[in-house]
Structure 1
């Protein structure tokens, strides 16, 4: 006789709750890139001298041309709709220098000796 005891009893109930909690966590609460369909408006601001300022990151395939800031005096701004998630990014100055965003709150090593800014979109 074969016994079947999938999620049976109190221990089984705890396992089921843990399993379902893990699925919910991984489906949107963990900052995993690209899981949510919700987007938020994100504003990038850079203050300084430059001829061109663009943002490169996980959210645009690290493209140097896709999302460039607009200049007003020495202030550069760009507003983007970005899906919920966690993204690494940098600012590209004059197409030849990448720097972390001076106004970012979070940073991480990129694995190549440079620093990326980190953006978390709720």
Structure 2
């Protein structure tokens, strides 16, 4: 139990530090999750994926892409106050990704910094990680 609380605390602190350091200004810089918009927030090799929605029928959101070998179930995001988010640490590179809604629907991520064809008639979000970028 203590280990679970400690891990939860570490994740919370890391998220707060990442939100503060990722820019975006305003309330997000002060750690107010509800002020985040859909998209990606980067600091060094860390990236936070954010999906903001008020749709009550969405029960799960995950992110999948080059970094997860396009696994259908993706990497689960956590939900708080209308915001789905997850933080990953990735090697330098250019990555394509999509959101997985309710375990079945692959969606082009709103707020992606770039969009590219996925080769199947749809579109991927694209981002670049460079450890020296802030």
Which band: TM-score by shorter chain? 0.5 to 0.7
Q: How many angstroms apart in 1 are the aligned matches of 2:88 and 2:76?
A: 10
Change (3 A) 1:64 1:73: farther
Alignment of 1:19-98 (within 5 A): 40-48=45-53, 49=55, 50-98=58-106
For residues 30-51 of structure 1, the C-alpha deviation after alignment (integer angstroms, 9 at most, x for no partner) is xxxxxxxxx7010000011310
Confirm or deny that 1:107 pairs with 2:115: yes
For residues 53-98 of structure 1, the C-alpha deviation after alignment (integer angstroms, 9 at most, x for no partner) is 0001001111233411100121111000011101110000001211
Ranges in structure 1 where 5+ consecutive residues have no aligned partner: 1-38
The TM-score with structure 2 as length reference comes to 0.59
The TM-score with structure 1 as length reference comes to 0.65
Give every structure 1 segment of 4 or more consecutive aligned residues whose post-TM-superposition deviation is greater than 6 Å: none
Q: Which residue of structure 1 lines up, in the alignment, with residue 33 of structure 2? A: none
For the pair shown, the structure with the greater C-alpha radius of gyration is: 1
Instruction: Report the count of equivalent residues.
Output: 84
Q: How many angstroms apart in 1 are the aligned matches of 2:74 and 2:52?
A: 20
Ranges in structure 2 where 5+ consecutive residues have no aligned partner: 1-43
**Secondary structure, aligned partner of 1:89:** strand
